[in-house]
């Protein structure tokens, strides 16, 4: 349709996408074969049919299992390059991509091969496709704060190549308040920060992320709408929310896209962006997320323009560079 074409063509940024969650089934099988690993699935269709989830934890179990196919520097290069190629096709001019090194270093993969693979592919995409990108290092909230601080030390050699630090993993039972010292240390080192909050957890977790961690963005943030004074805080401070509609649908955060909180977020003046989270797992890249949520919530052309502009405004890039996109 007209509106879908408009969405595909408008220049945009993506700010919430996990590299480990970007591996298409065919590539997953190829990586397993290349590394001599046996997967529980033998065909792309069989793997795809496993992508049915009842909750965030149910998804994370499969996601962490899939991480095992990433072993060599070339593996990290190839998945990063494939995603950034897709960005070029989708008019995503800038992408900020998460990777969670703890899934790999715990198995003996070196941080050096992980970083060289990902950063090399980001450089290639800039040169070959004119796609700009930033790397977000994500810590696991189900591990300890000491683990997160050790991760921070391990990435120190690449400080100037890292756009920001994030946090993901099973949310309920692992509140932001568990990581006050870690996020203070990230800030002390000059990093921008973000954290998954309000995806399955309550509004109180989003409030902790803002008031105790002072993060620069919130990933998801859906449950914030349950607390009117928190909505006001997010609006006044203009804290971006990286919303992921198809992720919320597939992890049962919403029962249908028509129930998705995005329209209410925009109506209340919140700084919302639309993102894909883990595209093959949840059934779409950023364009599919925007197209499907636009249709389900009957978003206007102006809403789409707002979302696209917000994606650049919320990016962890220097203000002078941002104006190139706005
Ligand atoms: C997540 Cl660690 C991680 N990866 C992908 N998506 C997520 N959502 C919450 N935590
Ligand atoms: Zn996420």
Any residues with CB less than 8 A from the CB of 318 and at least 6 apart, and which? none
Please tell me the distance between residue 168's alpha carbon and the centre of ligand 1 in angstroms. Answer: 5
CATH fold, domain 2-322, is: TIM Barrel (3.20.20)
pLDDT at 62 over 90: yes
Q: Which of 147, 146, 151, 125 is nearest to 136 (CA)?
A: 151
Contact, 92 vs 48, CB < 8 A? no
Nearest ligand, measured from the Cα of 22: 1
Atom of ligand 1 nearest to the CA of 18: 5
Q: In whole angstroms, what is the distance from residue 300 CA to residue 292 CA?
A: 13
Contact, 100 vs 76, CB < 8 A? no
- DSSP letter for 1, please: -
**Burial letters 248-282, b for 16+ CB under 10 A, else e:** bbbbebbeebeebbbbebbebebbbbbbbbbbbbb
Instruction: Please list all protein residues whose beta carbon sits less than 5 angstroms from ligand 2, which is an ion.
Output: 277
Give the pLDDT confidence score for residue 287 in this predicted structure.
99
Please tell me the distance between residue 224's alpha carbon and the centre of ligand 2 in angstroms. Answer: 16
User: pLDDT for 8-60, tens place per residue?
Assistant: 999 999 999 999 999 999 999 999 999 999 999 999 999 999 999 999 999 99
Query: Stretch 255-268: mean pLDDT, rounded?
Result: 98
Best mutation site among 17, 21, 67 for ligand 1, i.e. most ligand atoms within 8 A of its Cβ? 21
Active-site residue (options: 20, 199, 200, 208)? 199
Supply the mean pLDDT for the chain.
Answer: 98
List beta partners, residue 219.
Answer: 196, 242
Query: Stretch 216-238: mean pLDDT, rounded?
Result: 99
User: pLDDT for 102-145, tens place per residue?
Assistant: 999 999 999 999 999 999 999 999 999 999 999 999 999 999 99
Give the pLDDT confidence score for residue 186 in this predicted structure.
99
Give the pLDDT confidence score for residue 1 in this predicted structure.
80
Residues near ligand 1 with C-beta < 6 Å? Answer: 18, 21, 56, 63, 100, 168-169, 196, 277-278
User: pLDDT for 71-95, tens place per residue?
Assistant: 999 999 999 999 999 999 999 999 9
Query: Stretch 64-75: mean pLDDT, rounded?
Result: 98
Please tell me the distance between residue 18's alpha carbon and the centre of ligand 2 in angstroms. Answer: 6
Interface confidence: ipTM more than 0.90: yes
Any residues with CB less than 8 A from the CB of 307 and at least 6 apart, and which? 12, 266, 272, 273, 274, 290, 299
Q: Please indicate whether residue 199 is annotated as part of the active site.
A: yes
| Structural tokens at position 71 | 């072993």
User: pLDDT for 233-254, tens place per residue?
Assistant: 999 999 999 999 999 999 999 9
Q: Locate the domains of the chain by residue range.
A: 2-322
């Amino acid at each position: 349709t007209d509106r879908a074409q408009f969405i595909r063509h408008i220049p945009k940024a993506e700010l919430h996408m996990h590299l480990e969650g970007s591996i298409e089934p065919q590539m997953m099988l190829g990586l397993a074969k290349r590394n001599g690993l046996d997967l529980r699935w033998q065909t792309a269709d069989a793997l795809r049919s496993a992508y049915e989830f009842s909750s965030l934890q149910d998804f994370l179990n499969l996601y962490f299992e899939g991480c095992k196919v990433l072993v060599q520097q070339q593996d990290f290069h190839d998945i990063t390059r494939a995603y950034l190629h897709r960005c070029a096709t989708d008019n995503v001019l800038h992408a900020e991509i998460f990777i969670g090194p703890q899934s790999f270093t715990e198995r003996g993969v070196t941080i050096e091969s992980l970083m060289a693979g990902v950063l090399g592919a980001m450089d290639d995409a800039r040169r070959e496709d004119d796609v700009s990108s930033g790397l977000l290092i994500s810590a696991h909230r189900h591990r300890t704060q000491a683990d997160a601080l050790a991760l921070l030390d391990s990435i120190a050699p690449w400080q100037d190549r890292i756009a920001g630090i994030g946090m993901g993993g099973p949310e309920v039972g692992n509140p932001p308040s568990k990581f006050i010292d870690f996020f203070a240390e990230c800030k002390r080192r000059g990093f921008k920060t973000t954290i998954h909050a309000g995806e399955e957890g309550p509004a109180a977790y989003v409030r902790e992320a803002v008031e105790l961690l002072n993060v620069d963005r919130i990933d998801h943030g859906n449950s914030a709408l349950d607390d009117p004074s928190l909505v006001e805080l997010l609006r006044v401070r203009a804290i971006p929310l990286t919303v992921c509609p198809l992720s919320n649908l597939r992890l049962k955060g919403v029962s249908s896209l028509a129930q998705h909180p995005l329209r209410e977020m925009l109506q209340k003046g919140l700084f919302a962006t639309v993102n894909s989270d883990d595209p093959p797992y949840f059934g779409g890249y950023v364009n599919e997320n925007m197209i499907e949520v636009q249709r389900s919530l009957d978003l206007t052309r102006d809403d789409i323009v707002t979302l696209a502009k917000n994606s650049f405004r919320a990016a962890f890039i220097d203000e002078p560079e941002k104006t190139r996109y706005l």
